[in-house]
Amino acid sequence: MTAPVFVVDDDRLHGVGPGALVRLDGAEGRHAAAVKRLTVGEPIVLTDGRGTGAYGTVARLHGKDGLDAEVAEVRQEPEARPRITVVQALPKGDRGELAVETMTEVGVDAVVPWAASRCITQWKGERGQKALAKWRATAREAGKQARRLRFPDVAELMTTRQVAALLGTAALPAVLHEEGAEPLATAALPDTGDIVLVVGPEGGVSPDELAAFAEAGARPYRLGSSVLRTSTAGVAAGALLLGRTGRWS
């Protein structure tokens, strides 16, 4: 069984090397000691979620409040190229968290919440901040579950104009659309830079939005003959791109 991953939020992994002791405390420490019930000698991985991972074993327990881990090896996970960003229109209910969870698991690098015109769900005020916090917490927990050392960024909510500006900076700007003339499976992929992929809401991307994205250089692509839910389309497209770019090889 692979070692469980826990997050160290500050810079305590900076400069750490083999033989060092690193304290895991707070909520993560309590989870390791009281919920996972790790014991001395068991393997453990500590990460800052920004690419650094300290691999070692539990050296000492501090009751139910945390533990010390003895580092055996430090690994660095560089930023992947090309970088894959999924612009996710806000789905209904908890399907947004499902989309973030599974996209994190497959290896997407960034998720951008998008307030599309046909979104039923709206993020406004305190409710919107809570929803964004849930997406970010989901990405963090899914990153741990997937044993990632670099968790995906979850951006602030974007408008259509902001998404168009983001697409304008991409090496490959793309919109998933069932009427796309070209399949994503045959699109020419860049070696570096950003791939930015837009996933529309349940009601689809509106003509005005398609026009704005086209003006920014984004073309419509289809995944296949079936139409996927908004909460699963990004996962399928992300997996396809990760395989085609060689990042899964």
Residues 60 and 91 in one domain: no
pLDDT at 226: 82
Residues 114 and 234 in one domain: yes
Environment class of residue 3 by beta-carbon count within 10 Å: exposed (0-12), middle (13-18) or buried (19+)? middle
pLDDT at 1: 64
Q: Which one of 23, 43, 76 terminates a domain?
A: 76
Closest to 160 (Cα-Cα) out of 114, 120, 97, 199: 114
Query: 43 is in which domain, residue-wise?
Result: 5-76
Contacts of 249 (CB under 8 A, 6+ apart): 243
Residues 128 and 203 in one domain: yes
Residue pLDDT tens, the chain, 249 long: 689 999 998 889 999 999 999 999 999 999 999 999 999 999 999 999 999 999 999 999 999 999 999 999 999 999 999 999 999 999 998 999 999 999 999 999 999 999 999 999 999 999 999 999 999 999 999 999 999 999 999 999 999 999 999 999 999 999 999 887 799 999 999 989 999 999 999 989 999 999 999 999 999 999 988 888 999 999 999 999 999 999 998
Residues 202 and 99 in one domain: yes
Residues 50 and 112 in one domain: no
- In angstroms, rounded to a whole number, what is the distance separating the alpha carbons of residues 134 and 129? 9
* Number of independent structural domains in the chain: 2
Residues 103 and 60 in one domain: no
